[in-house]
Amino acid sequence: MSVPKTILVAPDSFKGSLSAVNFCRIAEKVGQAHANEIHVLSRPMSDGGEGFVEALIYAGLAEVKKVVVQDPLGRATTAKFAWQPETKTAIVEMAQASGLPLLAPYERNPLKASTYGTGQLLNAAIDLGAEKIILGLGGSATNDGGVGALQSLGFAFLDDQGDPIELGGEALTSLSKIVKKSPGMAENKRKSLDEIEWVIACDVSNPLLGEQGATAVFGPQKGVDEQSFTTLENGLARLADILKKDWHQDIRDLPGAGAAGGMAGSFVGLLNAQLVSGFDLLSELLQLEKLFQTHAIDLVITGEGKMDLQTQFGKLPNRIAELANRYQVPAVGVCGKLEASAAELAAFKDLRSIHEDLAETTSLDVLLAQTDQNLEKTFNRYLTSWLSA
């Protein structure tokens, strides 16, 4: 009896239609139909945004913790984070509390949207005894510079009269002073913010301000228009000025400071957080290198919702393919939509082939609704062909 071939499935999410975990579940389902020929190893991936926490929980590397927090507009929602009790490390995904998917399109309003709920998640982790907090950024509905989260953590953001500013990106235009509160008696039993190791996981290098900054690049998907752009940009500029003047932290041109509406910049400025690649961090936590060293992997399948020429420039599927190539394992990509010509596909040095799972229909709503079925058909077609080759 022949030994089953081992396939590592390590995708990003198909944003808006399929999580990385569900991608893996569909691959496992197809693999079960070929149980005597295929063994599937699943490692759902993320670059720090959607699916970052779920990836660790699915791999059995962390416990799930659930907390009722505020969504971007202040409504109650249940969010989760990952907890590793042995290392006292919490892995928090800001999109769980402050993400765009929590809002209907007509509700998107970065003038009012706040990261306060993310701060509540972080407080829950600190209450558990966290000594290290990894905060994954991405998919935010906010443009408040992370100020809402920091308010929840105990920082006071004050106006000229010494009163606390309101929540939301618009309120930053009235910011005059930032004060770090002393912990109360009830808080003395937990680690202070300075005692915690703060790590920010994100894979964008955008600065805080300007044409490549938080508001200009990521704002439009959050509801930023021409009028609100000026208000939000001025608010972040005011935050940066105060951090430089009073806290001696210059975050204006810091690569990555613009991630999650400027949240990365303020956490560097006020919590001395370290910015790291979300992919590299998750790859280390999931021990992907060790998987290649301890398993005879025959094929890697990765993917994301849309693949185009940008995929080859550091995006998650290409990073997975590069890793596979180092161990001389072929890698293939699966996507919902492929925007690259046959000639352009030749530029993908590490991905052996790319497979589109679109059905023959032009309706985006129908395509999104049928993602699961189309993906299953794509897996069946490819794996049947691969096994018979």
- pLDDT less than 50: residues of the chain: 185
pLDDT value at residue 185: 44
Q: What is the pLDDT of residues 23-53, one digit of tens each?
A: 999 999 998 888 789 999 999 998 888 888 9
Class of domain 5-41+286-388: alpha beta
Cα–Cα dist 285/287, whole Å: 5
Dihedral of CA 293/297/299/304: which sign? negative
**Domain 52-279 in CATH 3.40.50.720:** no
Residue 180: phi and psi, rounded to 5, are -95, 120
pLDDT at 187: 58
Listed by start position, the domains of the chain span 5-41+286-388, 52-279
Query: Where does the chain show beta strands of DSSP type E?
Result: 5-9, 38-42, 63-70, 76-84, 89-93, 132-136, 155-158, 177-180, 197-201, 274-276, 297-308, 331-339, 353-356
Alpha carbon distance 255, 204 (integer Å): 8
Q: Does 52-279 match 5-41+286-388 at the fold level? A: no
Q: What is the pLDDT of residue 389?
A: 75
Q: What is the predicted pLDDT for the residue at 310?
A: 67
pLDDT for residue 366 = 61
Structure token digits, residue 228: 């609100």
Per-residue pLDDT tens over the stretch 240-288: 999 999 999 999 999 999 999 999 999 999 999 999 998 899 999 999 9
Q: What pLDDT is recorded for position 363?
A: 58
- Residue 236 confidence (pLDDT): 98
What are the φ/ψ torsions at residue 134 (nearest 5 degrees)? -105, 120
Calpha distance 251→266 (Å, rounded): 8
d(CA 331, CA 353): 8
CA atoms of 173 and 239, how far apart (whole Å):
8
3-class secondary-structure state, position 98: helix
